Amino acid sequence: MMGYEATLAFVLLVSLTFYALMGGADFGAGVWHLLARGSSRRDQHRLIGDALGPIWEVNHVWLILIVTILFTAFPKAYVQISITLHIPLTLLVIGIVLRGSAFAFRHYDVKDDEIHVRWDQLFAISSLISPLLLGVIIGAMTVGHFPVNSESFFQGYVSPWIQTFPLILGIFTLSLFAYLAATYLLLETNNAQLQEIFRKRAIIAGLVVGFLEEAVLILGKSGAPQLWGELQYSLWGACLQLGVGGFAIAAVWFLLTRRYWWARTCAILQVTMTIWAWGIAQFPYLVPPDLTVFNAAAPEITLQFITAALFLGALLLFPSLFYLFRIFKGGQKAQHE
């Protein structure tokens, strides 16, 4: 039986996975919105708008849940992260505000005119901000060693995240989200031309993801030795890495052979295992070497209460989510001529 601390750490990891698979993919779709070219440009934009419309608000709530669990169950870590990573966290929420507002302005307006092109542009560009910063923040938490009583502003609030490892993790996160989005969009349309476009993009993104994943690992050797050590010198680390690699190759193979449902499934598993490899290697640290899920935890009663609340909430959430996705993602695909 896991203790409450470990259970809640696990819930955090699961929530982060859902956020990446759902909310992350919405940001990734913004990347393809920005890169849309050619004669079908408008159709690509419409496909992305239609795919996101009913679900993007829900997908975003996962992030709020993560923040809530963090400040309730691990307040000391939430506080330290909020102080040291003030700047990237602020940039992250600015990206979230701009992206969401632009999408709402574009899609819930009564008229349809020229200004919508501007909202589209804002939506696409601001979609890049948040994934980058999310990766940077997670990267900085992986590197850890937050300064206490720092002497200068730079040392205290800039250098913990302006480092090679967090920055490369930011770029990796963005590519991962774009890759997911491409494999999802394939299955959102029956239009062969659009499918072909997103198939090519998914393959390229898949290769970029594979390349960056290796870069992250290699840079982790010096940048995040704790993560590197766990992944390189343990049996489960080797297994997870093998799994990630296997699913990555399988996803590209299914894309090449146009079996999209299988490609998407492999991409989902690849991303899930990537996040879990990070999570298990990071455990029990929230920020190494000082903050763990044990020493940053709230009193036992709070942990019990929030665990119960999460359990009851999940009973409400998952049937509702299932209903939503069955309505909009289950049945007939929209026609995009």
Partner 1 sequence: MSNLLAARSLMAMALGFHIIFAIVGMAMPLLMVLAEWRWLRTKEEVYLIIAKRWAKGTAIFFAIGAVTGTVLSFQLGLLWPRFMEWAGPIIGPAFAIEGFAFFTEAIFLGIYLYGWQKVSPRAHLAAGGVVVISGIVSGVVVVMANGWMNTPTGFTLLNGLPSNIDPIAALLNPSGLLQAPHMILAAFAAAGFAVAGIHAFLLLRQQGNVFHQAAFTIALTVGCVSAILQPLSGDFLAKRVADFQPLKLAVFEGQVHTEKGAPFRIGGIWNSEQEAFDYVLEIPYALSLMLHLDPQGEVQGLKDFAKENWPPIGIVRTAFQIMVLIGLIMMSLALWAAWLAFKKRNVFESKTFLKAMVLATPLGFIATEAGWVATEVGRQPWVIVGYLKTAEAVTPMPGVIIPFIFFAGLYTFLTCIVIWLMWRHVLASPTQLDMMRNVKEAKQA
Least distance (Å) from partner 1 to the CB of residue 97? Answer: 5
Nearest-approach distance from CB 156 to partner 1, in angstroms: 7
Q: Would you say 274 and 213 are in contact if contact means Cβ atoms under 8 Å apart?
A: yes
Please name which of 161, 168, 132, 131 lies closest in space to residue 144, comparing C-alpha atoms.
Answer: 161
The letter for the amino acid at 245 is G
Among 10, 283, 294, 305, binds partner 1 (CB under 8 A): 305
In whole angstroms, what is the distance from residue 107 CA to residue 259 CA?
Answer: 32
Q: Is 301 in the site for partner 1 (CB under 8 A)?
A: yes
Distance CA 276, CA 227 (A): 12
Q: Which is nearer to partner 1, 289 or 313 (CB)?
A: 313
Question: Residue 221: left if φ>0, alpha if ψ -120 to 50, beta else—which one?
Answer: alpha
Tell me how many residues contact partner 1 (CB under 8 A): 64
Sole binder of partner 1 in the list 3, 41, 42, 53 (CB under 8 A): 53
The answer to the question of residue 133 lying near partner 1 (CB under 8 A) is no
Name, in order, each residue with C-beta under 8 angstroms of 196's C-beta and a sequence gap of 6 or more: none
Comparison of 161 and 179: residue with beta carbon closer to partner 1: 161
Min dist. Cβ of residue 133 to partner 1 (A): 11
**289 sits near partner 1 (criterion: CB under 8 A):** no
125 near partner 1 (CB under 8 A): no
Among 25, 224, 271, 310, binds partner 1 (CB under 8 A): 310
- Find the binder of partner 1 among 6, 7, 46, 100 (CB under 8 A): 100
Phi, psi angles (nearest 5°) of residue 146: -65, 140
Kindly state whether residue 238 participates in binding partner 1, applying the rule CB under 8 A.
no
User: How many CA within 13 A on the CB side of residue 320?
Assistant: 8
Residue that the structure tokens 């309505």 belong to: 327
Phi, psi of 286 (to 5 degrees): -100, -45
Residue 256 sits in the site that holds partner 1 (CB under 8 A):
no
Candidates 125, 207, 249, 317: give the one binding partner 1 (CB under 8 A): 317
Binding to partner 1 (CB under 8 A): which residues in 24-43? Answer: none
Kindly tell me which residue out of 6, 49, 57, 221 binds partner 1, with binding defined by CB under 8 A.
57
**51 phi, psi to nearest 5 deg:** -70, -40
> Of residues 13, 20, 92, 268, which one binds partner 1 by CB under 8 A?
92
Q: Which of 39, 153, 335, 337 binds partner 1 (CB under 8 A)?
A: 153
Residue tagged 């799994």 (tokens): 243
The dihedral through the CA atoms of 44, 173, 99, 188 has a sign that is positive
50: tokens are: 């239609």
Nearer to partner 1, 29 or 69 (CB): 69
Which tokens in the block code for residue 161?
Answer: 């995240």
How far apart, in whole angstroms, are the C-alpha atoms of residue 318 and residue 49? 24
What number of CA atoms fall less than 13 Å from residue 123's CA on the CB side? 27
* Cβ atoms within 10 Å of 76's Cβ, excluding its own: 16
Task: Give the nearest distance from C-beta 252 to partner 1 in angstroms.
Answer: 32
148 belongs to the binding site for partner 1 (CB under 8 A) = no
Q: In the complex, which residues of this chain contact partner 1 (CB under 8 A)?
A: 53-55, 57-58, 60-61, 63-65, 67-69, 71-73, 75-76, 78-79, 81-83, 86, 89-90, 92-94, 96-101, 103-105, 107-111, 153, 156-157, 298-299, 301-302, 305-306, 309-310, 312-313, 316-317, 320-321, 323-324, 327-328
